[in-house]
């Protein structure tokens, strides 16, 4: 907090009230809960296998058990639960309501939390099929934190699903620009390239991901689908 105050003063920054609030916000005063949250975020940022999601949920659950006022950890828990539903790791009807409950709890504790708005939008779109509600949440998340890449990624998917493919790809590229080292964002960008029939670009991007992480299950599966569309059937069969 002290460093943030001194940097903003030295640069003569004119911060809005919401920006000042964001700088001074302390997610939790429990160091152990924060450590658990960081472990959860580590596995969430990997999320290339069902095991990563389970570990993320375990750590986030322990974090909110230690500090029931820890909004960011509730938001992380909602993320990991919801994505279990996306990939069929657990029945969607079982995990999405739990995810929504965690996201709503995060917003009760911190109504300005960008992560929680984005997560609620993700659940509204994928489980409730509430298209406008989802877009409103994504826009609200970006309003609170324009640099939160997760909101831009999910908003990009929304645009692709709505048939606005090039706009969606631009939004997904902005997410990648914000998190250039994230393999998850790279794979999701490739997924949108595949959906919008940019097969060569998707193949090139997936090849780069698999250079870094050859065991990435999401990238491997998507690569097989892309190769089918390119007519490279033998290679796709080998991967599958």
Please report the pLDDT score of residue 23 as a whole number. 62
- Sorting pLDDT into bands at 50, 70 and 90, what band is 6? confident
Please report the pLDDT score of residue 47 as a whole number. 84
Q: Is the predicted pLDDT of residue 18 greater than 70, yes or no?
A: no
Please report the pLDDT score of residue 19 as a whole number. 66
Please report the pLDDT score of residue 154 as a whole number. 96
Q: Is the predicted pLDDT of residue 20 greater than 70, yes or no?
A: no
pTM of the model: 0.85
Please report the pLDDT score of residue 14 as a whole number. 72
Q: Is the predicted pLDDT of residue 46 greater than 90, yes or no?
A: no
3-state secondary structure the chain: CHHHHHHHHHCCCCCCHHHHHHHHCCCCCCHHHHHHHHHHHHHHHHCCCHHHHHHHHHHHHHHHHHCCCCHHHHHHHHHHHHHHHHCCCCCHHHHHHHHHHHHHHHHHHCCCCHHHHHHHHHHHHHHHCCHHHHHHHHHHHHHHCCCCHHHHHHHHHHHHHCCCHHHHHHHHHHHHHHCCCCHHHHHHHHHHHHHCCCHHHHHHHHHHHHHHCCCCHHHHHHHHHHHHHCCCHHHHHHHC
């Amino acid at each position: 907090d002290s460093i943030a105050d001194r940097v903003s003063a030295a640069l003569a920054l004119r911060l809005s009230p919401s920006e000042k609030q964001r700088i001074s916000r302390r997610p939790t005063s429990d160091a152990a809960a924060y450590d658990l949250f960081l472990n959860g975020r580590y596995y969430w940022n990997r999320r290339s296998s069902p095991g990563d999601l389970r570990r993320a949920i375990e750590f986030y659950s322990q974090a909110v058990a230690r500090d029931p006022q820890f909004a960011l950890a509730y938001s992380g828990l909602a993320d990991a639960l919801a994505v279990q539903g996306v990939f069929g790791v657990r029945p969607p009807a079982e995990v999405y309501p739990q995810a929504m409950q965690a996201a709503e709890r995060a917003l009760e504790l911190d109504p300005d939390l960008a992560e929680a708005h984005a997560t609620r939008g993700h659940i509204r779109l994928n489980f409730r099929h509430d298209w406008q509600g989802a877009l409103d949440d994504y826009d609200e998340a970006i309003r609170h934190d324009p640099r939160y890449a997760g909101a831009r990624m999910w908003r990009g998917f929304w645009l692709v699903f709505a048939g606005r493919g090039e706009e969606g790809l631009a939004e997904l590229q902005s997410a990648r620009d914000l998190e250039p080292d994230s393999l998850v964002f790279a794979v999701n960008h490739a997924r949108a390239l595949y959906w919008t029939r940019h097969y060569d670009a998707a193949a090139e991007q997936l090849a780069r991901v698999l250079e870094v992480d050859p065991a990435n299950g999401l990238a491997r599966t998507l690569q097989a689908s892309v190769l089918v569309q390119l007519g490279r059937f033998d290679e796709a069969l080998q991967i599958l």
